A = this chain, B = another copy of it.
């Protein structure tokens, strides 16, 4: 589960991040609104935690930009206690939930779970590719009449590849999907996952683009 945290207070940001990592979230953290917009447009997140008071581009503007896109990306907004107007404005701009600072970490976690659950129940479409059907909400795959559950990373990887067949995904891109930005893996873990997927399904499922990355052939 990959989250984008947009928060300019270093202490708070670090705190949130530290709290969420053990829960199994991959947390990417940006400190200003402009970078956030770019990241959201180019990467793929499951949820955004957005502070409203941000340098370079205000949180509300970020929210509006996100909503103008097609993504139904859930956004949890953090507001200062006394910023009454923010709340209203945020509602209008389409935030999915709020938290007023200072807040309890347990509360944050609970709201995240609720939001993610909602967004996944929101019938995320099944993904089909050559007889393989992915169900993002349950992390389950149907293949040759059997339903099997893939390990989390394998599912993430496969999902990323099949979202848009024919597109070549660089090694870096894939590693970001699996690990986020910082925690780099300096081994061939990615290749091992690919190997497992090829074995579970069929070898031609994932084509190697030597020196670049991997792709699923356009059907």
Nearest-CB residue, chain B, relative to A11: B91
The 4 nearest A-B residue pairs measured at CB: A138-B168, A104-B118, A149-B209, A139-B212
Q: Does A170 reach chain B (CB closer than 8 Å)?
A: yes
Interface size class of A (residues with CB under 8 A): 35 or more
Cβ–Cβ contact A170 & B117, under 8 A:
yes
Contact with B along A135-167 (1 / 0, CB 8 A): 101111000000101011000000000000001
Q: Tell me how far the C-beta of A192 lies from the nearest C-beta in chain B, rounded to whole angstroms.
A: 18
Interface residues of A in 182-219 (CB under 8 A from B): 184, 209-212, 215, 217-218
Known contacts A97-B102, A121-B104; is-contact A215 B138 (Cβ 8 Å): yes
Q: How many copies does the complex hold?
A: 2
Contacting residues, chain B, for A38 (C-beta < 8 A): none
Interface residues of A in 68-93 (CB under 8 A from B): 81-82, 91
Nearest-CB residue, chain B, relative to A170: B117
Interface of A is mostly: mixed
Report A's interface with B, CB cutoff 8 A. 11, 81-82, 91, 96-97, 102, 104, 106-107, 110-111, 113-114, 117-118, 121-122, 135, 137-140, 147, 149, 151-152, 167-168, 170, 172-173, 181, 184, 209-212, 215, 217-218
Nearest-CB residue, chain B, relative to A81: B110
Q: Tell me how far the C-beta of A97 lies from the nearest C-beta in chain B, rounded to whole angstroms.
A: 6
- Please pick, from B96, B138, B167, B181, the residue contacting A212 in the complex, using a CB distance under 8 A: B138
Assembled-state Cα–Cα distance A56/B140 (Å): 50
Cβ–Cβ contact B211 & A152, under 8 A:
yes
